[in-house]
Amino acid sequence: LKKDRILSLKVDCDTFEGTQKGIPRLLSIFHEFNVCATFFFTLGPDNSGRAIRRIFTQKGFLKKMLRSKAVSMYGPKTMLYGTLLPAPRIGEKLAEVIRSVEKAGHEVGVHGWDHVRWHDQLDKLTEEQIRRDYGLAHQTFENIFGHRAQSSAAPGWHITPLALKIQEEYGLLYTSNTRNGAPFYPKAGGIKFKTLEIPSTLPTWDEMLGSPDFKSPEDFLNFYGDLPEGVSVHSIHTEVEGMAWADLFRKQMTLWKNSGVKFAALEDIAKELLRNPAEIPGRQIVRIVIPNRGGLITSGTPA
């Protein structure tokens, strides 16, 4: 008897345009395939222009970005937010579209306040700054939905012992801050944290779209279609799968559905695991390199 292949789609909403345009498109695709996903929202200022400016300074990166349609992925406005254009507050301006996600039956959680700041500067932020940004994200979430968030996912899979300590105070059901491997209780700085961590297990589309290994869109879809048995967690992005590459993502959903993949929200995976918390291992937090992604990413060591 073949074990089930279960896929959790974790939707990271990073930018104003991705939230505004990518969310409705993804909701319509998920509705078409009758799939529940888990959305994590960035709720503060969109300073993407500051991050995207890096493409003009990083050698080799622009070529990759062009190959993977990055310029159409991040529209002209997004490329200027936080630089020539003021950074729009996503949660304030787009509360209606954000609320529509939960109304459509999906799970909702906190991604962050200022995505660019967390991603680029987390190691340098003081405890007070992290507490403020993380708190603002949760407060805005509660203002929008009328209830507290039960989960959060760190921007750029970037987490530190200090940030874990602050997150722990929120008594969340789980977090999804890291990459690779099975769910675990994070250990860092001599502390074993009590909040369950569920890592993303697959490489993201924006990491793989530029890869010369794929000779055709079919190759690419088959790579992602070939899921291992058990639970896989896949991070997708509103700007990628919900905008520039939405048609290809629809094909991917068709392939998964036709090959018998079952879908589950991350909260369902968490609740199932937490029925036997003693069986969840502790893993030390480390930084790793992920192919085709700049900087260091947080992961757990093998149990």
Minimum distance from residue 155 beta carbon to Zn ion (Å): 5
Contact by Cβ (8 Å): 127, 162 = yes
- Closer residue to Zn ion, CB minimum distance, 46 or 187: 46
What is the nearest approach in angstroms of Zn ion to the Cβ of residue 1? 38
Cβ proximity to Zn ion, 22 vs 155, nearer residue: 155
Interaction site with Zn ion (CB under 5 A)? 12, 14, 155
For residue 12, what is the enclosing H or E element?
A: strand 5-13
Of the pair 209, 221, the CB lying nearest Zn ion is at 209
Residue closer to Zn ion by CB (options 176, 221) is 176
- Min. distance of Cβ 296 from Zn ion in angstroms? 16
The nearest distance, CB 277 to Zn ion, in angstroms, is: 28
Minimum Å gap between C-beta 158 and Zn ion is 9
> From the CB of 14, what's the least distance to Zn ion, in Å?
4
* Token pair in block for residue 83: 């630089």
CA distance 300 to 303: 8
Q: What are phi and psi of 81, to 5 degrees?
A: -60, 130
Rounded Cα–Cα distance for residues 150 and 76 (Å): 34
Task: Tell me the chain's radius of gyration from C-alpha atoms.
Answer: 18
* Burial letters 261-275, b for 16+ CB under 10 A, else e: bebbbbbbbbeebee
Token pair of 239, please?
């700007």
Between 123 and 229, name the residue whose CB sits nearer to Zn ion. 123
Distances (CA, A) of 70 to 66, 123, 206: 6, 27, 9
Smaller CB distance to Zn ion: residue 179 or 187? Answer: 179
CB-CB contact of 144 with 91 (8 Å): yes
Strand partners, 286: 299
Q: C-beta of 63: minimal distance to Zn ion in Å?
A: 23
Q: Which residue's CB is nearer to Zn ion, number 206 or number 273?
A: 206
| Interhelix angle 217-225/246-258, nearest 10 degrees | 50
Burial label, 137 (beta-carbon count in 10 A; 0-12, 13-18, 19+): buried
Q: Which residue has the tokens 């939960």?
A: 102
